C-alpha cells in the first residue's frame, strides 16, 4: 500500500512538472512571429518549431510508445529537417495533445511497469528512468525555447510574475 501511495504522489508531481513546461512554452510562443518560430540562428542550432516537433517525437517514443507498450514509429531526423509548414497554433496543439497522452499513459502505468526495464532509443531504462527522462528533456528544451525568445525579444517572459520568489522556506 505504501508503494502505491508513493507512486501516486510521484505521478502527480511528474504531471505538475510537465504542465509547468507546457505553460512556459505556451507563454513563450505568444511573443514570437511565424518567421521567428522557424528561424535558425546557425547550422548548429534548431528553430523553436523544430524543438517543438522534437519534443513531441521524444515524448511519444519514450512515454507513449515505450511506457504504453505501443509500436515506436518515430522519425527523429524529420523533426529537425522540417523548416515550416506548421503555425504556432498547430504546433502548440500538437504539443498539448502529446502531453495529454503522456500524462494519461503515466497515470495508468502500473507499479510493475515503472520497475520493468526496456530498451528505448538504444538505452536500457526502467519505467521510472523513462519518465524522468521525459520530464527533464521537456524542461531542458523549454529552457532553450525561453532563452531563445528572451534573446531575440530582450524581454522577461514573466513565468513567475504572480509569485514572490524571495519567500523563505517554511519548516
CATH of domain 2-153: 1.20.120.450
pLDDT at 4 over 90: no
What is the model's pLDDT at position 41?
Answer: 84
Collapsing DSSP to helix, strand or coil, 75 comes out as: coil
How far out from the chain centre does Cα 60 lie?
A: 10
pLDDT at site 62: 97
Q: What is the pLDDT of residue 3?
A: 72
C-alpha cell at 86: 506548421
Share of the chain above pLDDT 70, in %: 99
Please tell me the predicted confidence (pLDDT) of residue 1: 57
CA distances from 33 to 71, 79, 116, 143 (A): 35, 20, 43, 19
Task: Calculate the average pLDDT of the chain.
Answer: 95
Strands (E), the chain: 117-120, 123-126
Q: Is the pLDDT of residue 153 over 90?
A: yes
pLDDT of residue 8: 92
pLDDT of 111 > 80? The answer is yes
Cell of 134: 521525459
Cα-based distances in Å from 58 to 52, 93, 131, 162: 10, 16, 11, 31
Amino acid at each position: 500500500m505504501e508503494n502505491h501511495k508513493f507512486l501516486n504522489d510521484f505521478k502527480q508531481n511528474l504531471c505538475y512538472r510537465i504542465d509547468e513546461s507546457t505553460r512556459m512554452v505556451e507563454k513563450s510562443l505568444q511573443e514570437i512571429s511565424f518567421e521567428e518560430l522557424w528561424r535558425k540562428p546557425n547550422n548548429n542550432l534548431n528553430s523553436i518549431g523544430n524543438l517543438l516537433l522534437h519534443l513531441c517525437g521524444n515524448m511519444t517514443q519514450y512515454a507513449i510508445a515505450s511506457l504504453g507498450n505501443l509500436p515506436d514509429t518515430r522519425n527523429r531526423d524529420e523533426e529537425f529537417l522540417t523548416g515550416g509548414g506548421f503555425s504556432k497554433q498547430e504546433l502548440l496543439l500538437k504539443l498539448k495533445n502529446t502531453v495529454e497522452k503522456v500524462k494519461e499513459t503515466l497515470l495508468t502505468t502500473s507499479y510493475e511497469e515503472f520497475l520493468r526495464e526496456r530498451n528505448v532509443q538504444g538505452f536500457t531504462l526502467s519505467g521510472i528512468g523513462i519518465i524522468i527522462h521525459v520530464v527533464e528533456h521537456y524542461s531542458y528544451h523549454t529552457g532553450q525555447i525561453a532563452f531563445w525568445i528572451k534573446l531575440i525579444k530582450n524581454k522577461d517572459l514573466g513565468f513567475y510574475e504572480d509569485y514572490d520568489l524571495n519567500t523563505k522556506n517554511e519548516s
